[in-house]
Amino acid sequence: MDKNQTEAVREFVLAGFSQTSSIEAGLFVLFLFFYVSTWVGNVLIMVTVASDNYLNVSPMYFLLGNLSFLDLCYSTVTTPKLLSDFLDNEKLISYNQCIVQLFFLHLVGAAEMFLLTVMAYDRYVAICRPLHYTTVMSRGLCCVLVAASWMGGFVHSTVQTILTIRLPFCGPNQVDNFFCDVPPVIKLACADTFVIELLMVSNSGLISTSSFVVLVSSYTTILVKIRSKEGRRKALSTCASHLMVVTLFFGPCIFIYARPFSIFSVDKIVSVLYNVITPMLNPLIYTLRNKEVKSAARRLWDR
């Protein structure tokens, strides 16, 4: 295969959800509602945390504000392009745009995984070592942990992107999803991708699975260490929202990345869960179960 053939594909076609214009019009309205709700909910949390004197100095809410920012970024990587494709019959994306989307998808996604792990550690210290909480979880340490989450996401995304751009693409060029991600993109490569798939699964799959195990183990340890029923009830109430977010985010990620890159028809629906639905639900989960955030939001509204 010569060089001209391997460089033939300079744009990809995103499969999307449907080719029927009436269905796509309905999906456009639905996903626009999801995206607007994501922005409203997450911006509300960030503004509430930043403007409230108590929440602003609390490590847990500092991390929550950063999680909301990551949710905004994560949703924005894919949803605007999806919305424009609902109104465009061709659904084209250039090779460079595809690689950029793939890079930022894994950058923000991995950073969120690491941040959720940090939030689990924060809850462990708060519940199991309450007298040392403010000392251990200082603002300086929180900033370092958030920065480390972003750095971990950057390293992970760089590895994924380098492995992808080294592959030759000469046709076909239809990505079987509504955005560019590693599994459907490398299936289009004109080369044997078995070793690349193993490397990527060991990277993405290992990060998502190990992070999920660490998170569940930390919350289990919290509940086991608390002896009193009242203390366990309070701990469960505090950790329940975190567990819901962890399950909604990590479940689909493990399904997509912790297996060989066989493309299933259900992958698009699973991708919607962690790309569109989870960033929208996170603010609802945290605010509906958290009296302090709700009270701070009311004070902000009154002002």
Q: What is the pLDDT of residue 31?
A: 94
Question: Which portions of the chain are predicted below pLDDT 50?
Answer: 1-6
Q: What is the pLDDT of residue 54?
A: 80
d(CA 207, CA 200): 10
The two three-digit tokens of residue 228, written as one number? 């009193």
How much of the chain, in percent, has pLDDT values that exceed 70? 92
d(CA 225, CA 239): 14
Q: Is residue 94 a contact partner of residue 10, using CB atoms and an 8 Å limit?
A: yes
Instruction: Please report the domains of the chain, with CATH numbers, ordered by start residue.
Output: 11-298 (1.20.1070.10)
Which residue is associated with the tokens 């479940």?
251
Helices (H), the chain: 3-6, 21-51, 53-57, 59-86, 95-128, 133-136, 139-165, 182-186, 194-200, 206-225, 229-257, 267-272, 278-288, 291-302
Q: What is the pLDDT of residue 239?
A: 73
Q: What is the pLDDT of residue 69?
A: 95
For the stretch 88-111, pLDDT in tens is: 878 899 999 999 999 999 999 999
Q: Is residue 104 a contact partner of residue 157, using CB atoms and an 8 Å limit?
A: yes
d(CA 263, CA 271): 12
Q: What is the pLDDT of residue 180?
A: 92
